[in-house]
Amino acid sequence: MARKNLLDGLMNARNEAEASARKAAGAPAPADRPATSPPRRQTGAIGAVSQSLAELRTRALVEVPADLIDDAGLKDRLDTDPEGLAELVESLREYGQQVPVMLRHSPNHEGRYEIVYGRRRVQALRKLGSPVRAMVRDLDDRSLVVAQGQENAARKDPSFIEKANFARQMVEGGFDRKVICDALHVDKTVVSRMLAVAKEVPEPVIEAIGAAPSAGRDRWLALARRIGKRPVDQVVALASGDSSDARFQTVFDALAPQRAPAPTPEKITTKNGALLAEAQRRGGKPVMTLHDDSFADWLRENMARLHEEFSRKDGE
């Protein structure tokens, strides 16, 4: 009897997993297979086996039509890459989908799903008209953004401003600092620094520039100081370049503070009008440029004597 119950548990788990996959793909249930019986409560060793099977079932992959999948979560990438997407489409066309995405059941629309991570793969498969191989999880909003942030950090290290922008969105979404730290794998001090930058740099400017992987916190803060009270649309208009790093540098250079023009030197001429020297102050100190080499040599040789005469006269 114990063996029979174990086999029943195995069959029920398999049938339920297959039914979930058919439902996700929109396929009808086969007519020649009897409906599965309601799950029975099991305890002891049999219950442990059934629990393990249930956990394995939640890890099973299903195929979901791409048009049943909606976007969700926060915007974690700033740069768009049409060429990269085209390459991904061709790769999936040739080799198929090797890496599954993660979805959750839509909390708002029955029978639909939302992306946890794998947006580009879903977008590419949608272009191909192919179903999406996915792991489906029951996740609340908090678990979704944590999974999204952790998967992105493991797959490709986001730039500083992408992390800062992600943290800003989480704050605006009402998530507390601990959730933000868990999602980004950083401590509260780093999160505070990220949020300080995201607060100082207008969001449209971040969007216009992009990820700028070469620019860290200090450079973004320096850019914020250069932006100051300038109209945001004027700053956005400065962002030009083939890469986000180039766009950052273009904006950064265009907003560099203007140096005060150097003062015009005073010209000293002889009685007949010939230029003898130019005098000006640089850094608070007097600077004289002599244009008569022979006079410059004589002055150098007689500088001490002239100073002595000047001092004696000044003392009188």
Note whether 64 and 53 are same-domain residues. no
Residue 140, domain member (yes or no): yes
- Kindly report the CATH number assigned to the domain that includes residue 96: 3.90.1530.10
Q: Tokens 């507390």 correspond to what residue?
A: 176
The reported pLDDT for the residue numbered 247 is 92
The verdict on residue 271 lying in a domain is no
Residues spanned by the domain of 166: 157-257
CA proximity to 74, closest of 140, 154, 168, 153: 168
Do 76 and 130 fall within a single domain?
yes
Alpha helices in the chain (DSSP H): 2-25, 44-58, 82-95, 119-128, 141-155, 160-172, 177-184, 188-200, 203-209, 217-227, 232-237, 244-254, 293-315
Q: What's the confidence (pLDDT) of residue 46?
A: 55
Angle between helices 217-227 and 188-200 (to 10 degrees): 30
The pLDDT of residue 156 is 57
Paired tokens of 309: 């005469």
> pLDDT digits over 23-51, tens only?
544 444 444 444 444 444 455 555 555 55
Tell me, what's the pLDDT at 13?
A: 45
Residue with tokens 């001090």: 189
**What's residue 219's pLDDT?**
92
Instruction: Report the pLDDT averaged over residues 91-99.
Output: 83
CA distance 217 to 162: 11
Dist CA 103 CA 116 (whole Å): 5
Place of tokens 């998530």: 175
Contact 145, 179 (CB under 8 A): yes
- pTM value is 0.46
Sign of the C-alpha dihedral computed for residues 27, 30, 31 and 34 taken in this order: negative
pLDDT above 70 (res 241): yes
The tokens describing 205, both together, are 């400017």
pLDDT of res. 253? 93
Q: How far apart are CA 316 and CA 314, in angstroms?
A: 5
Residue with tokens 């500088």: 303
| 90, 124: one domain | yes
* 212 part of a folded domain: yes
- The reported pLDDT for the residue numbered 185 is 75
Q: What percent of the chain has pLDDT over 70?
A: 72
Do 177 and 138 share a structural domain?
no
Residue 124 lies in a domain: yes
Residues 136 and 169 in one domain: no
Quick one: pLDDT at residue 205? 93
Does residue 178 register a pLDDT over 80? yes
Quote the CA–CA distance of 87 and 304 in Å, as a whole number.
78
Q: Same domain, yes or no, for 109 and 176?
A: no
For the chain, how many structural domains are there in total? 3
d(CA 60, CA 16): 11
Dist. CA 177–CA 275, nearest whole Å: 70
The amino acid at residue 119 is R
Q: Do residues 81 and 2 share a domain?
A: no
Query: Do 102 and 90 share a domain, yes or no?
Result: yes
